[in-house]
Chains A and B, each alone.
Chain A
Amino acid sequence: MTSPRPHDAVQARERYERVTALFDTACEVNAADREAYVDDVAAQDPAVGAELRSLLRAHAQLGGFLEAAAAPDRIRDLLQASLVGRYVIRHRIASGGMASVYRADDVRHARAVAIKVLAAPTASDAFTNATPQRFLDEIRVTAALQHVNVMPLYDSGADAGLLYFVMPYIDGETLRQRLRRTGPLPVDEALHLAHGIADALDHAHAKGVVHRDLKPENILIRDGQPLVCDFGIALATAELESGRHTQTGVIIGTPQYMSPEQATGATEIDARTDVYSLGVLLYEMLVGDPPHVASSAQGVLAKVRAEQPIAVHLLRPSVPEDVSQAISGALAKQRGDRFASIRAFRDALVLPAVAVSRTGASFGQLSAGRPTRVRWLRWAMGGAAALATVSAGVWLSTTVGQPDVASSTAVRFVVTPISDAAIGRAPSLTPNGLAIVYAGSAATDRRIFVRQVNELAARPLTGTHGALDTFLSPDGKIIAFITSDDRLMRIGIDGGDLREMGGAFRYSTGTFLNDSILILDSFGQEGLTWRSSNGGPTHALTQLDTLRDDSVHQRPFALGDGRTFVFTVARGRSGPGAQGGELALARLEPDAKQTVVYQLLGIDAQTAFAYQDGWLLYIRQDARALMAARLDVPSARIIGEPVVVLEPDGGGIDVASLASNGTLLYSRRVLPQNAPVLVDSTGRARPLVVGLTGAFMNPRVSPDGERVAVQRVSADGTDAWVYDISNGAQTRVTRQGSVLGPAWGPDGRYLVYASTVNGRDALWRILADGSGRPERLAAASGVFAASPTKDANLLLFQRRVNGVWSIWRAPVSGEHEVQPVVTGTYDAFMPSLSPDGRWLVYAGSQSGRYEVYRQPLSGPGEALRVSLDGGTEPAWSADGRRIFYRGDRKLMYAELDESVSPQILRRRVLFADVFDGDMPMPHRNYDVMPDGRRFVMIAPTGDATPETIVVLNWTPELRERLTAHR
């Protein structure tokens, strides 16, 4: 895991070094003593112990992970040697644990086959508990199975320490792959598959064969028909693996699919074990997860043994209650309470249209089968309690009794933070209200997590590192997200189908207009844009109305009809990161060729978040209340007065979402905490002022290197503060509350900054010790951040005009006439002057991405591109020979020599820039000390973890509010 701060990074490295050393030792001690060894370690340092334990667990499950690919394929060679003349072994299709599957050609019959091979990694491990013959006897029985839903077995054998099974090569996907690809299946499809699997099992049971290891990996789907694989092989696999794992003392397998009798280690397994496992499979097909999920195998097994799963129809209301009850019946803990045969279970799985009325279903467990409320409550009780023990949950579910599911009372709770999956940004509910999707915190590499509303565990989605904001497709199957390196990506909610859709600006917000169209704001550059959710080019969607001084269109929200959307229009300087604006409504027709016309709705909001029964729900602009306004879409008009529907204490509402099942989620912002730090040229950081934290931005070192001016956000607004590096003394320099981008005058006596006073944007000057009154210099709308020249006569600054950043200049004295320096249709900002005053560096987007350019401040001369693969936030070294910049999430520099050609001598990376934070800032957020070797940066000290509140069954309360108002 990467950490946000270098001293943390160093700590993480040191800790990992320690864990690695312990890991080496643990691998060397006897398996029998290993557990005790780990316990010892854990007793001294629980965190290190846990880390060690999880590494050992991974080690025990590795199989041929990486190694198989790294080393020549020994097994393939052995197999080919054994089967020469009969089969030509092609490539490996799959491998895991001790089994590998190869694609091969059956020479005699000229057909494609798949060969599953069980191999012990070393000779000493080989089949300690049984001889291959025993497995082959078992196989012989199963080879007699002939059923359209049973994967046929062509051949089998044992040779050279290998057990192999030859099957037809089927071009299909496993149920696991299918679930990963699409998430839960349509109800009728799930039932159809369950029927096929049941038929296969029924056939096998009649011949006395129990499968024992049904799981999604063992079901192959071809042309919509299931094929049950691995009859009989399951036993060999299980024995082989348990033989291996009793040595290391680690449980392996797939506990989620084990029956309670398997989980308690019962030796007698009968057909009802398969009934249970098919119940689990169907449950997972319908809900997306197996009934029992926990963060450890022991946790799962404990739940399998003791806990009643939540009934399927409560999690997915479209599942008929009969089907849900049948599944609960199959999942009964006691075999005697389950269906007596797979056929009986199959017959109970019917859709209502053809359902025969059944009364008196004989599952003793059903009465205790719906501990819904209990689970909510348990979840709400807090991470520590809920993580602590499964037994607490069991106790609750057996003593609290049946909840009143139909109650109209809303249940509220704060989402318990999970330490290793804390919510970083923008949590939202899936449209069905069953899960929360969010980007994790910095400590989790900002992966996307999916957390079932009724579960404690959050599941990270692989490949989503750096995710900042997420938004969901209307069907809830696709998550689109924007990463910290400015890519727009998408991934299935099941974690599959990860793709890149193109570039995006880091702080963009977006919405799915429908399943195929995605609307994004482009950080206010050109209004909103749209693109296909399959990628492809970006199209302009709305245009900034320059007459009305639109500065940014953002936070689009689709109304759900597939065409209409609302968004906020901010005006004036409110640049990137602007909070809210006036709501506007527009429509994208399917054949739209150009930008659309939008209608202002006359209400100010942070963002709209739901549209139900003619009411548009939105977060009020002051972020203190959720509002509802009657919106007539055809006329694009708000009817009547907006109504406050929720007003939580403290305000700060950041995001909200309302799901179709009536669940509301909203989160409250907490100011990000950070601290100015002094970083050396290797990336090591120490606090600039010990103990100082707050919300800081844009540090600037005084010319003598003794003080740092910085923009600080506090309850009173944003002002310039100065800190003395030697003693930490602080001075609040300004009191205007809207101060941006303070910069030092060349003599270090005064600061220049931008501020909006009485609605007018201007540049100001003030003495840096806070004495005296601010003096207004040049007025210009959209001005942000200035950089005084050395002779103190000229100010260089950036402005945002018509949604585009440009660089301007104005004399300090006299009429302050404002003149353009770099303007165009692209962004040019973050200007910085060379120490000799001749050269200007800035970040510009003329090439389509942000790069650093250098050009003469005045006179002719072309812009020289300084950065190579993207760069922003340029700064000069004091000797003018180096230009520092950020690129590729690293702090880099380019070394220049004007007397030679090419003038750029080299580019170097100084250190991976872990301080490139989340704050949307079009301004350089660090500065270089006069020695050119140290930097003042802003390091996050804690994530701005939003507080997330879930309200179950909120809609009745909402209706009440709206009716009362009318």
Chain B
Amino acid sequence: MRQRPGIRATRQVTTSGSVTEWLRRAAEGEAMAFDAAFALVYDELRVLARAQLRREAEGHTLETGALVHEAYLRLSDGDGSAFSDRSHFLAIASTAMRRILVEHARRANAVKRGGPAVRVSLDASELNYALVLDDRETSVIDLDEALERLAALHARQAKVVECRFFGGLSEEETATALGIGLRTTKRDWAAARSWLYRELHPEELL
């Protein structure tokens, strides 16, 4: 499985310092700060996602957008102030959400194939269920991989999908998060969806 290098290495760094601080430093171009901010947001989102799934009745879909916004409130609360860089937060949170969903899907798959005898609570399989994107059974994992390929062709389009789909951001929020125009966001979203659809469902495109 693809690993994202660097995250584990910087995990210990993140025990001190607020997200706001890390985000500010990341915005100033400090590469390690990005990893640190990412790790904090990622952890927070993962906790929230698990809690939401446990709370909700069977079959409820995960509202990723709501989670991202809740994480935003909680993390900024700690500072007693709003982030100076909300856009940066949204982009990072979308990436983190993507990772959480893909990891969950992988785990759910592992459970389905009778993998390690780890008891995975209902939430993992439910989450995977919620992410059956359509009746053509696109898996999150396939989408994730396809998105990686799209990123090689057009990084911005892939980012837009990450924000819209995984982060649950609206078009406006996506535009803010990525620092691009609303019109560009819409165009990227349309083109990227078409590209991904073709990539994931070549058999449908007769």
| Secondary structure type dominating chain B contacts | helix
**Residues A294 and B206 in contact, CB atoms below 8 Å apart:** yes
Which residue from chain B places its CB closest to the CB of A460 in the assembled complex? Answer: B202
One digit per residue, 1 when the CB lies within 8 angstroms of any chain B CB and 0 when it does not, for chain A 48-72 equals 0000001111110111111111101
- Asked whether A70 and B168 contact (CB < 8 A) given A58-B195, A58-B197, the answer is yes
Bound-state Cα–Cα, A255 to B203, Å: 12
One digit per residue, 1 when the CB lies within 8 angstroms of any chain A CB and 0 when it does not, for chain B 62-75 equals 01010000000000
Q: Is A94 an interface residue (CB 8 A)?
A: yes
- Asked whether A90 and B59 contact (CB < 8 A) given A66-B161, A296-B206, A888-B2, the answer is yes
Q: Which of A2, A68, A90, A485 contacts B152 (CB 8 A)?
A: A2
- Asked whether A2 and B161 contact (CB < 8 A) given A57-B205, A499-B113, the answer is no
Q: Which of A62, A217, A459, A907 contacts B194 (CB 8 A)?
A: A62
Q: Is A775 an interface residue (CB 8 A)?
A: no
Which residue from chain B places its CB closest to the CB of A293 in the assembled complex? Answer: B206
Q: Which of A12, A61, A299, A892 contacts B5 (CB 8 A)?
A: A892
A contact residues around B145 at 8 Å (CB): 463, 465
Q: Which of A13-21, A228-236, A750-758 contacts B (4 or more CB under 8 A)?
A: A13-21
Q: Is B50 an interface residue (CB 8 A)?
A: no
Bound-state Cα–Cα, A91 to B61, Å: 7
Which residue from chain A places its CB closest to the CB of B139 in the assembled complex? Answer: A463
One digit per residue, 1 when the CB lies within 8 angstroms of any chain A CB and 0 when it does not, for chain B 174-204 equals 0000000000000100110111111011111
**Residues B164 and A59 in contact, CB atoms below 8 Å apart:** no
Q: Is B119 an interface residue (CB 8 A)?
A: no
Q: Which of B131, B153, B161, B204 contacts A61 (CB 8 A)?
A: B204
Q: Which of A27, A57, A912 contacts B190 (CB 8 A)?
A: A27
Q: Which of B132, B152, B197 contacts A9 (CB 8 A)?
A: B152
**Residues A13 and B153 in contact, CB atoms below 8 Å apart:** yes
Q: Is B141 an interface residue (CB 8 A)?
A: yes
Q: Which of A107-153 contact B (CB under 8 A)?
A: none
Bound-state Cα–Cα, A901 to B95, Å: 31
- Asked whether A55 and B194 contact (CB < 8 A) given A460-B202, A892-B5, A909-B5, the answer is yes
**Residues B164 and A70 in contact, CB atoms below 8 Å apart:** yes
Q: Is A337 an interface residue (CB 8 A)?
A: no
Residue among A62, A534, A906, A909 with max Cβ neighbours from chain B (10 Å): A62
Min CB distance B205 to A, Å, is 5
A contact residues around B128 at 8 Å (CB): none
**Residues B5 and A94 in contact, CB atoms below 8 Å apart:** no
**Residues A300 and B109 in contact, CB atoms below 8 Å apart:** no
A contact residues around B3 at 8 Å (CB): 868-870, 888
Min CB distance A294 to B, Å, is 7
**Residues A63 and B134 in contact, CB atoms below 8 Å apart:** yes
A contact residues around B31 at 8 Å (CB): 906, 908
Which residue from chain B places its CB closest to the CB of A256 in the assembled complex? Answer: B206
A contact residues around B187 at 8 Å (CB): 20, 24
**Residues B190 and A59 in contact, CB atoms below 8 Å apart:** yes
Q: Is B55 an interface residue (CB 8 A)?
A: no
Bound-state Cα–Cα, A16 to B152, Å: 10
Min CB distance A60 to B, Å, is 9
A contact residues around B115 at 8 Å (CB): 535
Q: Is B9 an interface residue (CB 8 A)?
A: yes
**Residues A54 and B205 in contact, CB atoms below 8 Å apart:** yes
**Residues B134 and A65 in contact, CB atoms below 8 Å apart:** yes
**Residues B204 and A217 in contact, CB atoms below 8 Å apart:** no
B contact residues around A101 at 8 Å (CB): 135
Q: How large is the interface on B (under 10, 10 to 19, 20 to 34, 35 or more residues)?
A: 35 or more
A contact residues around B191 at 8 Å (CB): 20, 23-24, 55
Residue among A90, A299, A462, A870 with max Cβ neighbours from chain B (10 Å): A462
Bound-state Cα–Cα, A621 to B115, Å: 40
Bound-state Cα–Cα, A465 to B146, Å: 10
**Residues A58 and B198 in contact, CB atoms below 8 Å apart:** yes
Which residue from chain B places its CB closest to the CB of A253 in the assembled complex? Answer: B206
Q: Is A297 an interface residue (CB 8 A)?
A: yes
Q: Is A630 an interface residue (CB 8 A)?
A: no
Bound-state Cα–Cα, A65 to B161, Å: 12
One digit per residue, 1 when the CB lies within 8 angstroms of any chain A CB and 0 when it does not, for chain B 130-145 equals 1111111101011101
A contact residues around B206 at 8 Å (CB): 255-256, 294-297, 299-300
**Residues A66 and B164 in contact, CB atoms below 8 Å apart:** yes
Q: Is B32 an interface residue (CB 8 A)?
A: yes
| Secondary structure type dominating chain A contacts | mixed
Q: Is A96 an interface residue (CB 8 A)?
A: yes
Bound-state Cα–Cα, A65 to B143, Å: 11
Which residue from chain A places its CB closest to the CB of B112 in the assembled complex? Answer: A499
B contact residues around A55 at 8 Å (CB): 191, 194-195, 198
- Asked whether A906 and B32 contact (CB < 8 A) given A64-B134, A70-B165, the answer is yes
A contact residues around B135 at 8 Å (CB): 94-96, 101, 217
One digit per residue, 1 when the CB lies within 8 angstroms of any chain A CB and 0 when it does not, for chain B 24-55 equals 00000001100000000000000000000000
A contact residues around B142 at 8 Å (CB): 462-463
**Residues B134 and A94 in contact, CB atoms below 8 Å apart:** yes
Q: Is B80 an interface residue (CB 8 A)?
A: no
Q: Is A887 an interface residue (CB 8 A)?
A: yes
Which residue from chain A places its CB closest to the CB of B131 in the assembled complex? Answer: A69
B contact residues around A64 at 8 Å (CB): 134
Which residue from chain A places its CB closest to the CB of B204 in the assembled complex? Answer: A61
Q: Which of B60, B165, B168, B200 contacts A91 (CB 8 A)?
A: B60
B contact residues around A90 at 8 Å (CB): 58-59
Q: Is A531 an interface residue (CB 8 A)?
A: no
**Residues B60 and A66 in contact, CB atoms below 8 Å apart:** no
**Residues B168 and A16 in contact, CB atoms below 8 Å apart:** no
Min CB distance B178 to A, Å, is 15
One digit per residue, 1 when the CB lies within 8 angstroms of any chain A CB and 0 when it does not, for chain B 1-12 equals 111011011000
Residue among B65, B196, B202 with max Cβ neighbours from chain A (10 Å): B202
Min CB distance A105 to B, Å, is 10
Bound-state Cα–Cα, A20 to B190, Å: 10
One digit per residue, 1 when the CB lies within 8 angstroms of any chain B CB and 0 when it does not, for chain A 64-86 equals 11111110110000000000000
Q: Is B157 an interface residue (CB 8 A)?
A: yes
Min CB distance A233 to B, Å, is 15
A contact residues around B5 at 8 Å (CB): 868-869, 887-888, 890, 892, 907, 909
Q: Which of B61, B65, B205 contacts A58 (CB 8 A)?
A: B205
Q: Is A103 an interface residue (CB 8 A)?
A: yes
- Asked whether A66 and B193 contact (CB < 8 A) given A58-B198, A460-B202, A907-B5, the answer is yes
- Asked whether A1 and B149 contact (CB < 8 A) given A20-B191, A96-B136, the answer is yes
- Asked whether A445 and B6 contact (CB < 8 A) given A61-B204, A96-B136, A535-B113, the answer is no
- Asked whether A95 and B194 contact (CB < 8 A) given A70-B168, A459-B203, A465-B145, the answer is no
B contact residues around A294 at 8 Å (CB): 206
**Residues B113 and A67 in contact, CB atoms below 8 Å apart:** no
B contact residues around A534 at 8 Å (CB): 113-114
**Residues A62 and B197 in contact, CB atoms below 8 Å apart:** yes
A contact residues around B141 at 8 Å (CB): 463
Bound-state Cα–Cα, A300 to B206, Å: 8
Bound-state Cα–Cα, A295 to B206, Å: 6
Bound-state Cα–Cα, A463 to B31, Å: 32
Known: A69-B165, A96-B135. 4 other contacts (CB 8 A): A13-B153, A64-B134, A103-B59, A888-B3
* Interface residues of B, Cβ cutoff 8 Å to A: 1-3, 5-6, 8-9, 31-32, 58-61, 63, 65, 109, 113-115, 129-137, 139, 141-143, 145, 149, 152-154, 157, 161, 164-165, 168, 187, 190-191, 193-198, 200-206
List the 6 shortest-distance A-B pairs measured between CB atoms, nearest first. Answer: A94-B135, A869-B3, A91-B59, A58-B198, A59-B194, A58-B194
Q: Could you jot down 15 A-B contacts, CB within 8 Å?
A: A1-B153, A20-B187, A27-B190, A57-B205, A62-B194, A65-B197, A66-B193, A68-B134, A94-B135, A103-B59, A463-B139, A465-B145, A868-B3, A887-B5, A888-B5
* Interface residues of A, Cβ cutoff 8 Å to B: 1-2, 9, 12-13, 16-17, 20, 23-24, 27, 54-59, 61-70, 72-73, 90-92, 94-96, 101, 103, 177, 217, 255-256, 294-297, 299-300, 445, 459-460, 462-463, 465, 485, 487, 499, 534-535, 868-870, 887-888, 890, 892, 906-909, 912
